[in-house]
Structure 1
């Protein structure tokens, strides 16, 4: 039950904090406190909408608490970033550290709320409308939620996390624009294929995916040591995330 609550809340968090929040909104959040509050209201709305199929009074309380803590964390982040910028010490490394600290704190809040909900022995029961719909199409609700969670996690959140993690290792002549056009989508497709192979117990087939990806960069990998290390590290992190998500999923 704890796992189901956590995946449900984490799914809502991912949609509200990554997909509803655009890059433009994220930049405005760092400059104006009003945008932090606007984002928090949007986040609460997304949390309520995502949990609508299993809505209960206790769950409403839980997602409201999650949204309040989300707002508080973002406010403290805004204050910290504003302070760092005024002192002229803001850098990409600080931005990376703030990002990961922010997401860890949000995850800890969701873990605590999930534990509280599960500890209260509150079962997750689908609304009759959604239950009838799933009965008609013949797909279990948990399976839909798990697949949706897995796909959303391994796309935008993972691409952002990997790009920020690799800031220190990026070669000086690396083409950032080229990466934004195709590299991130290649990584997403790669992880989706890995998930499918893991799901059908075809673990050895994952090697074919990694081989196909390496062929496209073979010439540069063999000639540039720094790029080879950067490429290998990114690929290994991407693979690790796909495996971790498959375990949760």
Structure 2
């Protein structure tokens, strides 16, 4: 039962804090209280969306509590951002703030999920959804796990890896390729999706083929620029680690 509530809360968090929040909103949120409030409203909307298939007022209230907790953490971050606004905002500081923020959100979701398990009724899917899942041969828990895992390995992991690697980013004369990283992020998402499917089917050896194909595309630059090779290897290892972590959701 804890898993059910935590899955619901995690899904709402992923939608609200990543997919319904653009980079513009994230930047403005650090300087304007109005944008913190707007983000809080969008975050609450994400839980409403996540609760729609369940049709439960009780579950929606749990999502509201999670939204209040999220807003509280964002207010702490907003106050801290104002405090250091006149100081030097380095890449290391930006990285630390991001992961501290997400850690606080994750801890609050765990606490709320545990409390909901104690005081609320179990989460159950409506008959229509249950019937559809039976036809396709999938349980509600498996379906929600796949949705969360796929959403997690796209935008959240891309942002997390970007924050981790920004400290180690090499100085390169190839400015156009480094700045235009949308294709690279999409390739990373496809790579992680393929690895997730392979891991779920126990095809662990095939993952090496995926990593090899990715390395071939950058072989020339890897061979000529040792700093880029280290940066590339670190990014690949982090991406693979994130897939392994995401695959635990499917178990």
Range class of TM-score, shorter chain:
over 0.9
Note the C-alpha offset of 1:12: 1.0
Q: State whether structure 2 residue 179 is matched by structure 1 residue 177.
A: yes
Q: List alignment gaps of at least 5 residues for structure 2.
A: none
SS of equivalent residue, structure 2 residue 167:
helix
Q: Which residues of 2 match residues 126-165 of structure 1 at below 5 A?
A: 126-135=125-134, 137-165=136-164
Instruction: After TM superposition, give the deviation of residue 137 of structure 1 in Å.
Output: 4.9
| Residues 41-67 of structure 1: CA deviation (Å, up to 9, x unaligned) | 111121122022224343233211110
Task: Provide the aligned length of Structure 1 versus Structure 2.
Answer: 247
Counterpart of 1:106 in structure 2 is 105
Q: State the distance in 2 between where 1:60 and 1:199 align.
A: 31
Q: Describe the superposition over 1:131-162 as per-residue Cα deviations: whole angstroms up to 9, x where unpaired.
A: 34434555432222111111110000000000
In the aligned structure 1, how far is the partner of 2:24 from the partner of 2:167?
Answer: 25
Does residue 1:241 correspond to 2:239, yes or no? no
How far does residue 35 in structure 1 lie from its aligned partner after superposition? 1.0
Paired with 2:135 and 2:44, the residues of 1 have a C-alpha distance of 30
CA contact (8 A) 1:81 1:90 kept: no
Partner of 1:231: 232
TM-score (norm 1): 0.93
Q: Given that residues 59 and 123 in structure 2 are in contact (C-alpha distance below 8 angstroms), is that contact kept between their aligned partners in structure 1?
A: no
Between the aligned partners of 1:84 and 1:226, the Cα distance in structure 2 is 32
- Equivalent residues of 2:58, 2:120 under 8 A apart: no
- Which residue is equivalent to 2:122? 123
Aligned-pair Cα RMSD in Å: 1.7
Moved more, 232-241 or 168-177: 168-177
Q: TM-score, normalised by structure 2?
A: 0.92
Tell me: CA distance 1:182–1:43, structure 2 relative to 1, closer, same or farther (3 Å).
same
- Of residues 142-151 and 157-166 in structure 1, the stretch that sits farther from structure 2 once superposed is 142-151
**Cα drift, residue 74 of structure 1:** 0.7
